[in-house]
Amino acid sequence: MTTVVEQVWATLEHLTDPEIPVVTLRELGILREVTETPAGVEVVITPTYTGCPAMGQIEDDVKACLEKAGIPARVVTRLAPAWTTDWMSEEAKEKLRVYGIAPPHTTRKEVNVIQFIRRPAATDLVACPRCGSTHTVVSSQFGSTACKALYKCLDCQEPFDYFKPY
Amino acid sequence: MNAPADYLLHLADNAVVLGQRNAEWCGHGPILEEDIAMGNVSLDYIGQARLLYQLAATRLGGDATEDKLAYFRDDTQFRNYTLLELPHNGPLVGYAKADRDYATTIVRNFLYGALMVLVWDALEKSSDSDLAAIAAKSLKEARYHLHHAADWVVRFGDGTEESHQRVQAALDHLFPYTEEFWTPSAVEDAAVASGAGVDVRTLRAAWDAIVNDTLGQGTLVRPQGRGYVPEGKHGRHSEHLGYLLGEMQGLARAHPGATW
């Protein structure tokens, strides 16, 4: 027999990010926790960027999905620990790459701020999701959504999105 | 221990005012990439402001809400730094909207961004766990803001004669306003005493290092001499804040409770 918690995870499994429909909320690490409390089931989500307009949509999607399945649940937004792209699963990263978005590198612990504002180290080379070349250049730190930067491949000449380490 | 609500409002007002100001570039950016960048930076600031206003509203209790705090306080109740409310016009141009100067925008984002990376880093260890959680999120965003602004300060400074002249003029114009960062208000003192706030004076050496390093790379000269001390965080603002709030608050005040 499946518990109600397992049932909630299974129900929410197909829910994808509104902006990047190839990865699920679970794979992105936005869907954090499902617990059974005396007051009913509690679903914990964590915001990505503070001003990301997709967060409202995500909360509505989770609520609507559970309502449709007839599972009464409360959706709670929790800030700490802060969401990080390091929570993204390897399968999600591969899905992003196939979709045409270069997946994020692992975040680095900043040693100090001065070091941070200097040019990124060679280990931060971003591979083009189309041809695999690391001969790429950033055209803007800010892209079509809060979580992405704009890059250009100097070999195949294609522009592409890079999911920023965060 | 919880941070005083006024301290949260000081942080929130800084974020919302600069977010609103930078959003003026939306659809008017000098190039497409920068138009998108300013939209993203503004969204981050408004997102941070929302978290802080929500927390302040919870702490204030009664009928306080994030919308009431953002839309129904007057300019003299805003506690933001004066630097953040100034228009995007440098000293070399007029005050018409068409005269916006991107060097001024970038220099302000740089001076403030360098401060906030240090402030959020310190507030991650705040005794107020809700504020510490907001700080941890905001720090990640602040790093990108600083990276973006510092990059352009160097490009402009070490660019053409025209770009160098304009970014240096923006620096000379805005630098004196940063004196307000280093003169703590009673609200900040109370926050420090509670263990929830950060003593900004302890951040000055690190801020100087970031600023000097970046200006050096951009072949720019740091303006000398102590500036006057503006008093925006005490509610005494320049004439520009009223117009900014007029635009930001107009709809909410004309149609209270409006939704769409």
Q: Vertex B199, ends B198 and B201: CA angle to 5°?
A: 140
Q: B43, A146: Cβ pair inside 8 Å?
A: yes
CA closest to A146 among chain B residues: B40
The two structure tokens encoding residue A15:
């829910």
Digit-coded pLDDT (tens) for B12-35: 999 999 999 999 999 999 999 999
How many angstroms separate the CA atoms of B101 and B170, rounded?
A: 9
| Whether residue B93 has pLDDT greater than 80 | no
Sort out which chain A residues have CB atoms less than 8 A from B33's CB and list them: 139-140, 142, 150
Alpha-carbon distances, residue B233 vs B83, B121, B126 (angstroms): 10, 21, 21
Looking at the structure, tell me whether residues A56 and A115 fall in a common domain. Answer: no
CA closest to A120 among chain B residues: B147
The two structure tokens encoding residue A140:
């803007």
How many angstroms separate the CA atoms of A55 and B157, rounded?
A: 38
How many angstroms separate the CA atoms of B153 and B159, rounded?
A: 10
Whether residue A40 contacts residue A70, with contact meaning beta carbons closer than 8 Å, is answered with no
- Of residues A140 and B242, the one with the higher pLDDT is B242
Sort out which chain A residues have CB atoms less than 8 A from B51's CB and list them: 50, 79
Give the pTM. Answer: 0.90
Q: How many CB atoms lie within 10 A of CB A93?
A: 19
pLDDT for A139: 86
Nearest alpha carbon to residue B208 among B83, B105, B115, B135: B115
Strand pairing category for A40-45 and A73-77: parallel
Nearest alpha carbon to residue B181 among B122, B215, B227: B227
Sort out which chain B residues have CB atoms less than 8 A from A124's CB and list them: none
Whether residue A5 contacts residue A35, with contact meaning beta carbons closer than 8 Å, is answered with yes
Q: A83, B137: Cβ pair inside 8 Å?
A: yes
pLDDT-based confidence at residue B159 (cuts at 50, 70, 90): very high
Say which of A79, A84, A146 has its CB closest to residue B44.
Answer: A146
Tell whether B33 is within 8 A of chain A (Cβ). Answer: yes
How many angstroms separate the CA atoms of A35 and A41, rounded?
A: 6
Tell whether B29 is within 8 A of chain A (Cβ). Answer: no
Nearest alpha carbon to residue A161 among A148, A98, A153: A148
Task: For chain A, give the percent of residues with pLDDT over 90.
Answer: 44
Residue A26 lies in a domain: yes
Q: B141, A50: Cβ pair inside 8 Å?
A: yes
Whether residue A71 contacts residue A7, with contact meaning beta carbons closer than 8 Å, is answered with yes
The two structure tokens encoding residue B140:
């990640």
Domain ranges of chain B: 5-254
Looking at the structure, tell me whether residues A28 and A69 fall in a common domain. Answer: yes
For residue B44, the distance in angstroms to the closest alpha carbon of chain A comes to: 5
Say which of A47, A113, A142 has its CB closest to residue B210.
Answer: A113
Whether residue A41 contacts residue A35, with contact meaning beta carbons closer than 8 Å, is answered with yes
Q: How many CB atoms lie within 10 A of CB A79?
A: 19
Phi-psi region of A69 (alpha: psi -120 to 50; beta: other; left: phi over 0): alpha
pLDDT for B103: 95
Domain residues for A34? Answer: 4-77
Residue A95 lies in a domain: no
Task: Give domain B5-254's CATH superfamily.
Answer: Ferritin, core subunit, four-helix bundle (1.20.1260.10)
How many angstroms separate the CA atoms of B71 and B47, rounded?
A: 15
CATH number at residue A22: 3.30.300.130
Looking at the structure, tell me whether residues A115 and A159 fall in a common domain. Answer: yes
Chain mean position to CA A23: 8
Sort out which chain B residues have CB atoms less than 8 A from A52's CB and list them: 43, 47
Q: A51, B144: Cβ pair inside 8 Å?
A: no
Looking at the structure, tell me whether residues A64 and A106 fall in a common domain. Answer: no
How many angstroms separate the CA atoms of A88 and B196, rounded?
A: 32
Mean pLDDT for B191-204 is: 96
Helix (H) or strand (E) holding A148: strand A148-153
Q: What is the DSSP letter of B124?
A: T
Looking at the structure, tell me whether residues A105 and A150 fall in a common domain. Answer: yes
The answer for B 215-244 residues in CB contact with A (under 8 A) is none
Sort out which chain A residues have CB atoms less than 8 A from B123's CB and list them: none
Sort out which chain A residues have CB atoms less than 8 A from B133's CB and list them: 79-80, 82
Digit-coded pLDDT (tens) for A31-87: 999 998 888 899 999 988 888 888 889 999 999 999 998 888 899 999 888 899 999
Question: What is the distance in angstroms between the CA of the first residue and the CA of the last residue of chain A?
Answer: 39
Strand pairing category for A136-140 and A148-153: antiparallel
DSSP string, B28-93: T-SSHHHHHHHHHHHHHHHHHHHHHHHHHHHHH-TT--HHHHHHSS-GGG----GGGGS-S--TTS
Q: A113, B206: Cβ pair inside 8 Å?
A: yes
Complex ipTM above 0.90?
Answer: no
Residue A37 lies in a domain: yes
Looking at the structure, tell me whether residues A71 and A131 fall in a common domain. Answer: no
| Whether residue A120 has pLDDT greater than 70 | no
Q: B209, A114: Cβ pair inside 8 Å?
A: yes
Say which of B39, B141, B143 has its CB closest to residue A116.
Answer: B143
Q: B213, A114: Cβ pair inside 8 Å?
A: yes
Looking at the structure, tell me whether residues A116 and A148 fall in a common domain. Answer: yes
| Whether residue B260 has pLDDT greater than 80 | no
When divided into structural domains, chain A yields a total of 2
Tell whether B124 is within 8 A of chain A (Cβ). Answer: no
